[in-house]
Amino acid sequence: MTGKPDERPLVLHVFYRFDVGGLENGVVNLINRMPADAYRHAILALTEVTDFKRRIQRDDVRYISLNKPPGHLYRLFPRLVRILRELKPAIVHSRNLAALEVTVPARLAGVPVRLHGEHGYDVGDLDGSNATYRWVRRAYNPFVSHWIALSRDLQRYLVDRVGIASRKVTQIYNGVDAERFHPARLSEATFADCPFRRPEHWLIGTVGRMQTVKNQTLLARAFIRALEIAPELRPRLRLVMVGDGPLRTEAQALLTAAGIADLAWLPGERHDVPELLRSLDCFVLPSLAEGISNTILEAMATGLPVIATRVGGNPELVSDGNTGRLVAADDAEAMAQAILAYAQQPEIAQAHGRAGRAEVERRFSLEAMVAAYRQVYDQLLSEQHSDRNSQ
């Protein structure tokens, strides 16, 4: 005797690689928080699904790794069509340029809704000026049912610069788990593994993949410069850089060459980010480009003032002079001055951190994000159903 077929629509989330990162973390939150009776979910990575999948709390999610070799995806189109016809997803939701090609086999396989999300600019197109990338998005637009932009900046890019009809683009901010990421309690000590201790030390830090677009070496240079400007802060000011990647070695080399490696802690990749953030006094995001940064939202939820570069969606999150400071991209002097302003006036830093927490509670809840995605999913499927009935 067979069980009753599962009638919940399936959403297939497509990534280049499903690994530790802000984009992937947002999808984990979406899957974990969306009511289980609304949609089923599956994860498809063009390359690899890593152990990061353990963050997903549901046990009905299927994971598929294509192990794609370097090069274009079209060689795998026949295989993808077969997979999609087997899965029969109601929605394929691809994310970022590397996964956009999936919309073609999805249409060939008869997937009713092909949704594509833009989460941030590519490392080869930090300001959206790359004409080839605009042309690629324009060329694939007929295969995309609808676009999601994580920031107003990306929404303007898709409509004004790529030329996608505004009716086909919805802007949805990431949400943050304000229960998991909360301000440190008065009795909460600095994280046990950290070699520095508050209140003796004042900790600035960052969290994220240490790769070119995240530009963590800017923070290392700014930290060095801050201590050159104000050497009296050397006994107190400390740097924490959490994450792994090619820039970790470069940042460590800069700090060593400046003779201050003992004033910084670079522990590599960690899975206890909420606790680590609660050990900081100030959060810094030195990126060259951003969409809507999960780590900024997590830092704000933790009650930290945020120093961020004025790129992408960062100005939509950080209110300069109210919840943090915005500085020009790749400007070590400006970032050093922002660090010093907070370190020398910690009461202002704390006030900006409290304002950031209030802003998260007001505008960036997980509930609002999940409701917005569910509304888009429901609406697009309803429109497809109506179109079929009218034919």
| Domains parsed from the chain with CATH numbers | 10-175+366-390 (3.40.50.2000), 202-363 (3.40.50.2000)
Per residue in 55-95, pLDDT (tens digit) is 999 999 999 999 999 888 888 999 999 999 999 999 999 99
Instruction: Output the DSSP codes for 238-267.
Output: EEEEE--SHHHHHHHHHHHHTT-GGGEEEE
> What is d(CA 135, CA 34) in angstroms, rounded to the nearest whole number?
34
> Taking the C-alpha atoms of 326, 329, 334 and 335 in order, what is their torsion angle to the nearest 10 degrees?
70
Q: Which two tokens stand for residue 365?
A: 């809840």
Q: What's the pTM?
A: 0.83
> Residue 2: is its pLDDT beyond 70?
no
Residues 6+ apart with CB under 8 A from 391: none
Work out the angle at residue 297's Cα, subtended by the Cα atoms of residues 293 and 302, and round it to the nearest 5 degrees: 145
- On average, the pLDDT of the chain sits at 93
Query: What is the per-residue burial (b if ≥16 Cβ within 10 Å, else e) of 233-249?
Result: beeebbbbbbbbbebbe
Residue type, 10: L
Handedness of CA 32, 184, 307, 248 (dihedral sign): negative
> Residue 258: is its pLDDT beyond 70?
yes
> Residue 189: is its pLDDT beyond 70?
no
| Count of Cβ atoms closer than 10 Å to residue 159 Cβ | 17
For tokens 């079929």, the residue is 388
Cβ atoms 329, 121 nearer than 8 A: no
> Residue 121: is its pLDDT beyond 90?
no
Provide the 3-class DSSP secondary structure of residue 282. strand
Confidence of residue 314 (pLDDT cuts 50, 70, 90): very high
Residues 6+ apart with CB under 8 A from 67: 47, 48
| Count of Cβ atoms closer than 10 Å to residue 339 Cβ | 28
| Count of Cβ atoms closer than 10 Å to residue 188 Cβ | 12
Provide the 3-class DSSP secondary structure of residue 120. coil
